[in-house]
A and B are shown apart, each in its own frame.
Chain A
Amino acid sequence: MNIFDNVEALSARVPDGAFVALPPEYSWVPASLARALIVQGTRDLHVLCVPIGGITVDMLIGAGCIGTLEAAAVSLGEAGLAPRFTEAVQSGSIRMKDSTCPAIHAGLQAAEKGVPFMPLGGLIGSDIEANRDDWRVVPDPMDSGNGPIALVSALKPDFAIFHSPKADRHGNVWIGKRRELMVMAHAAKETLVTVEKIVDEDFLADEATAAGTLGNLYVSGIAEAKNGAWPSVLHGVYEADCEEIATYAYEAKTVEGFQAFMERTLAQTRLAAAE
């Protein structure tokens, strides 16, 4: 586990072509780290949304960072459709692996256990299943009376990335009840985390904090990033910046509008980092 000086040092760990797991906008999305990936010109990422994506993944698509996307859905929520995602899928400029929420959770759980696949109810007869060559429907192997059952392949990302209010100096990261972040980190080879603040207390010393902590066994790098989830929510710290997201939803409908928006937002990020 290393503590890095800034977000750029953390993003530099992610090479082109990496398989990266990303939480949804309401679960501590690493927006600053994503902007750093955009600035460093990352290409051909395989991004896994756990299990849905929003403005952050839409920006990564618009900036040309993503080659393959796996998600159960991508939208800007109340602000409407995700414009760069919509355009990319309609034009076929990214490879889309459509999924469904519990299949993504189950694939990560398989990786957590170190087994190659996980059985899951439902899915049979869905065109999602019909178009996934990494899923199978098999006869009930245990004769349990269930009938045919779907198997989904383990999902083993190179990196899990997320943001959090705080980590301790030992690299233990607070996740509260956002336990999908725990599953992501267990499944991934490396976990990179940005935090609002690195603090002096030891989260594992008290059972109350230990219960909501990802242990440093899984964490390879941490860096401080103030407002690192902005414009999305960081529960208990700040609310979503709905105005910024609505502005994005409107301006990013065109390539030119997206580029103008990104120039502005990246300049703002640089200014905040310099303060």
Chain B
Amino acid sequence: MSYQPEELLICVIANLLESDPTVRHVAVGAASPIPGSAVLLCREETGDRPRASIIHGETNNPFTDGAREIFDCAGQGRIDVFFLGGVQIDGQANINLLGTMGEGGYPAIDRRFPGSFGSAYMYFVVPKVILFRPEHSRRVFVDEVDFISAPGVSARDVHRPGGPKFLVTELCLMSFNAERARFRLESVHPPHTVEEVRDNTGFDFDVADTVLMTPEPEADRLNVLRSRVGVEIGNTYPGFASRVFGIEPAKEAVA
């Protein structure tokens, strides 16, 4: 059964959530239809887990105490998984959401992107942060970021229950080891190769003894994605649901 690249990435992320029974509550930030779909897929497949909180939407949004609530909720340890990306990500998992810097560094900006959002906090307090950046290139995966929105690792005396655990890109899945402050290549998505990952990564990384080929999405999984998950994520991301799953927004019922 043929599939879209987005569908493979959704399945890779859903596997990371399904295989870890400690994942009970996943929060998804703004403009994140692929992570959002992965959480909903996981919930369909396990029957009950995890709770999915999709902020900035009206469905699957449990927060009633204003914009600060998600951060306070995370600070208490009530959120197990969060997703972050970056304009640049380096080999120590430092992330830069701000932009590339000009001569002399910040505040001289070469190319400005929106900004750091809640990353400088969420990266510290959420136990399992999954870095998600589809574009896998040397302009994204650099040796050293121009600006640290949030650091990948911290000194031992800094209170840090959370941090990066995985990196998902259009080419591969990597894990992150905070002790070594290094990524390790775990699996490569078909039809790509380890060499291709190396050629497009600007930092040095470890390689698992056996690098797996990422499994392709099974037909029954794709069916769930293109029906129940697609309809539900379409409430928050109608454009995405239409483009990837071919699901058009429900028409208003005619009275």
A contact set with B: CB distance below 8 Å: 24, 26-27, 50-52, 71-75, 77-78, 81-82, 85-86, 89-90, 92, 96, 98-103, 105-106, 109, 120-129, 131, 146-149, 177-183, 235
Contacts and interface: CB of A to CB of B under 8 A. Distances in A.
Interface residues on B, range: 35 or more
Interface in B97-123: 97-99, 106-123
Nearest to A26: B56
B112 A89 contact: yes
Contact of B68 (A127, A128, A180): A180
Contacts of B30: 77
Interface stretch (B16-24, B39-47, B134-142, B154-162): B154-162
Contacts of B157: 147-148
A181 B67 CA distance: 9
Most B-side CB within 10 Å, residue of A100, A148, A178: A100
B120 A128 contact: yes
A102 B107 contact: no
28 contacts: A27-B67, A72-B117, A75-B115, A81-B112, A82-B114, A90-B110, A100-B116, A100-B119, A100-B121, A100-B149, A101-B67, A105-B71, A109-B68, A121-B125, A122-B121, A122-B122, A122-B123, A122-B125, A124-B124, A126-B116, A126-B148, A128-B149, A131-B106, A147-B159, A180-B68, A181-B66, A183-B66, A183-B68
Contacts of A96: 107
Contacts of B111: 90
A180 B55 CA distance: 14
Given A125-B154, A126-B148, 8 more contacts: A73-B116, A101-B67, A120-B121, A122-B122, A123-B124, A125-B155, A146-B159, A179-B65
Contacts of B123: 122
Interface of B: 30-31, 56, 58, 63-68, 71, 75, 97-99, 106-125, 147-151, 154-155, 157-159, 239
B112 A102 contact: no
Contacts of A71: 115
B98 A98 contact: yes
Contact of A122 (B58, B65, B124): B124
A123 B120 contact: yes
B154 A124 contact: yes
A75 B98 CA distance: 12
Contact of B151 (A109, A125, A178): A125
A74 B115 CA distance: 7
Nearest to B69: A179
Nearest to B122: A122
Contacts of A89: 99, 109, 112
A41 B162 CA distance: 47
B126 to A, nearest CB: 10
Q: Which 5 A-B pairs have the closest CB atoms?
A: A179-B66, A73-B115, A122-B124, A122-B121, A75-B114
A148 B160 CA distance: 11
Contacts of B155: 125
Contacts of B115: 52, 71-75, 98
A129 B114 contact: no
Contacts of A129: 120
Contacts of A92: 107-108
